[in-house]
Amino acid sequence: MSDEVLVEVRHLAKYFGMENDFFGRPTAVLKAVDDVSFQIHRGEAFGLVGESGCGKTTIGKMLVDLYRPTKGQIFFEGTELTALSESKRRAFCKDIQLIFQDPYASLNPRMTVGDIIAEPIKINKLLPKDKIEDRVTYLLNCVGLANHHRNRYPYEFSGGQRQRVGIARALAVEPKLIVCDEPVSALDVSIQAQVLNLLDDLKDEFGLTYLFIAHGLNVVKHISDRVGVMYLGKMMEIAPEKELYRNPLHPYTQALLSAIPVIDPNRRKKRIILEGDVPSPINPPDGCRFCSRCFRRFEGCDRENPTLREITPGHFVSCRLFDQEQAAAAPA
C-alpha cells in the first residue's frame, strides 16, 4: 500500500426528496449520506461497514457516478470529479468500476459471458478487434473460469461463478479503483471465502485499489487494510484493520465487534445489546446520530454533533467521549 492518496472524499452528502408539496418542492428529505470525509490510498483495500440504510452503498454509487452528490467533493488522483461536466466526468468511468451486490441481476441474460466481458473493451475502444478475444480468455482464466465458458449464458452458472464474471467485466477496462458493493452477501459462506480470496489475489496481480462495502466487520477483516464504520449517514470511526479490531473506540464499533461469533467454545465474550431502533434518516437526531441507542451517552450527546477527530495516528473517531477527553487533557 502506498501513501499516495488515490481518492479523497470531502464533506460528501446525498439527500433524496421523499415527498413534494403542490408546487413540486420537497417537504421531506432523506439524508442518506451526510457530511462524510475519508481518503483511500493507492493499492489499499478500504472497508466500509454498517447496517442496512447507513449510506455505504450510496457512497459507492456516487464514486462511480450513478448518483450525483447533493454537497461535497470527490477527488480522484487530484482531479475534482464533482466539478466536471458530464462529458468530462465520463472519461474517468473506466478508471472506477463497480462490482454489484447481486450477481443474478447484474448480468444481461441475453448475452453470452464472452460478450459481457468484451462489451466494455469495445465501448472504450481499448483494443483492436482481433485482440479482444485473447483478452477475454485471459480475464476468464484470471477469475478461475475456463475458456469454453465464454459461449454460455449467465443462467447456466452458479451464483459464485456469476460473480466471477462480474469481476472479470470490471477488470476488462484496467481500472485503478474497484467499488465492491457487498460482492459476497448473496453467496453461500463457502463461496464467499473463494470470492474474497480471489479479490485479494487480483488486487496484488493487477495493482488494484478497493472500496469494499459490507454489512459485517467479520467479512472486511479478511481483505481490508483500513476500515470505516458508518451509522445513519455518518462516519463513526476510521482505523487500520488490526487497530480497529484490537482497540475499537466508538461504542457502535464495540457493539458490532461484540456480535461476531467466537469459534472457541471455552472463550466467552460479552455481547453488547443495543436498545431501540435505528432513527429515521428523514428525521435524524439533532446531536450524535447514535445517541438514542448508545450505552455510553451522557449529557449533551442529544444536542451536540461530534466531529471526526484523530485520536491516535491513523485512528479517527466521531464521539463526544473523546471530545471530553481532549478538552480535559488540553492545557489551561
Rg of the chain in Å (alpha carbons):
21
Q: Within its chain, how far is the Cα of 187 from the centroid?
A: 18
How far is 29 from 14, CA to CA, in rounded Å?
Answer: 10
- Summarize pLDDT for 173-218 with one digit per residue, the tens: 999 999 999 998 878 888 888 999 999 999 999 999 999 999 888 8
Of 74-83, 86-95, 317-326, the range with the lowest mean pLDDT is 317-326
Other beta carbons within 10 Å of 147: 13
Type of residue at 275: E
The DSSP annotation for 193-231 comes to HHHHHHHHHHHHHHT-EEEEEES-HHHHTTT-SEEEEEE
- Summarize pLDDT for 123-158 with one digit per residue, the tens: 999 999 999 999 999 999 999 999 999 999 999 999
- Summarize pLDDT for 90-126 with one digit per residue, the tens: 889 999 999 998 888 899 999 999 999 999 999 999 9
How far is 283 from 266, CA to CA, in rounded Å?
Answer: 44
Average pLDDT, stretch 253-276? Answer: 82
Counting residues of the chain whose pLDDT is more than 90, the rounded percentage is 70
- Report the DSSP pairing between strands 96-99 and 177-181: parallel
Best mean pLDDT range from 7-11, 158-162, 188-192, 328-332? 7-11
Choose among 148, 177, 152, 176: nearest CA to 162.
Answer: 152
- Summarize pLDDT for 10-45 with one digit per residue, the tens: 999 999 988 777 777 777 889 999 999 999 999 999
pLDDT at 295 over 60: yes
Report the pLDDT value the prediction gives residue 320, as an integer from 0 to 100: 92
- pTM for this structure? 0.91
The DSSP annotation for 248-278 comes to --SHHHHHHHHTSPPS-TT------PPPS-P
How far is 288 from 297, CA to CA, in rounded Å?
Answer: 9
Q: Domain coordinates of the chain in residue numbers?
A: 249-332
